[in-house]
Amino acid sequence: MTRSGGSKSSPASTPKKPLTHFLCLPLVTARSRTQFETSMRTFRNEVTTEDGAAVKSGTRLANIHPKAVRPIGALHCTLGVMSLTRQELEQAVQLLQTLDIDRLLRLPQVESKQGRNPSSDEVLSSPHRPVSPPQLGRATPLTVDLKGLVSMHDPRNTSILYTPPHDSTDRLYPFCLAVQKLFKDAGFLVEDNRELKLHATIVNTIYAKGRSKRPPKRVTRQETADPSRMTAAVDDRTSALAAGQADERSQGHGPNANAPLKIDATAIVEHYADFVWVKDVVLDRIAICEMGAKKITDAEFRIIDEQYKEIASAKLPT
């Protein structure tokens, strides 16, 4: 299945299309949330300060604005971003929901046992569900740890800190590459020739500046159980999207991020080099999400979390 549409126009004559969705591995599950709550609370208590100044406790850790620390519900690993019409979104959802997840997960493991690494084309030789059941059993779950803290740039002058996922079976990265290639070949992903860097963003200073002061509409945690009701929430798009619908990868996200607020995270990166955020988390789905996290509030209208609206997902073996 490929993306439908007309011929491409010259970049000089056509404004850049807004980013609408992204393909990702959500990291927060019913089992992982408790671990994240504990680790993120520890992190926030040690590194955040409202005015961005170092605390007087003799440590250089507390120099991050609280809003720069990403909310638990928004944690994920991005495989690619998209700019889709409604029709294109329907096609992307159909592609996602017809993937042969077991095959995509199992082939890298089989090839590795044979002493070689599979190419993307080999993995994708039969990416969709077969007409008849496969002879091999279901693939085993993808279990990951999130450990350490890495700067996207020089840690002395950075805006993004992240933690990479670790998979002891070495299937996660080939699986993500295979899925990414399917969506890229179908024309659903915004062109990006950089190597895929699987990571969960823990800190992004772009969220600490230029945020709207408009009070959020109320969305309770109970309402988030129904994705269709998430549309009632405030759409907290990044400042990059709000400012002329710019390419958020170059403005506030990724290696080319140009966030206005930079920090010296040298001490933080060193301190959290071996910090375990979560351990033995079973990834349960791959999803297409709407761009822009939605604020989740309690009965007193206090923001308690932020989440991305999942348009569709494909289950992973659990």
Q: Model-level pTM greater than 0.75?
A: yes
Number of C-alpha atoms within 13 angstroms, CB side, residue 114? 9
In a domain, 2, yes or no: no
Task: Specify the CATH number for the domain of residue 107.
Answer: 3.90.1140.10
In a domain, 13, yes or no: no
C-alpha–C-alpha distance, residues 76 and 176, integer Å? 13
Do β-strands 200-204 and 160-163 pair in parallel, antiparallel, or remain unpaired? antiparallel
Token reading at 140? 């085993």
At 312 the pLDDT is 99
Q: How many degrees, rounded to 5, is the angle at CA 281 between CA 236 and CA 279?
A: 105
C-alpha–C-alpha distance, residues 232 and 88, integer Å? 24
Query: Which range has the top average pLDDT, 146-160, 224-238, 248-262?
Result: 146-160
| Residue 69: DSSP 8-state | B
In a domain, 15, yes or no: no
In a domain, 51, yes or no: yes
| 36-40, 239-243, 300-304: least confident range | 239-243
Task: With H, G, I as helix, E, B as strand and everything else as coil, classify residue 251.
Answer: helix
In a domain, 108, yes or no: yes
Range of the domain at 218: 21-125+139-315
In a domain, 220, yes or no: yes
At 209 the pLDDT is 67
C-alpha–C-alpha distance, residues 28 and 283, integer Å? 9
Task: With H, G, I as helix, E, B as strand and everything else as coil, classify residue 38.
Answer: helix
In a domain, 69, yes or no: yes
In a domain, 16, yes or no: no
Q: How many degrees, rounded to 5, is the angle at CA 129 between CA 99 and CA 287?
A: 20
Task: With H, G, I as helix, E, B as strand and everything else as coil, classify residue 170.
Answer: coil
What is the tens place of the pLDDT at every residue in 208-244? 864 444 444 444 545 444 443 333 333 333 333 333 3
The total number of structural domains in the chain stands at 1
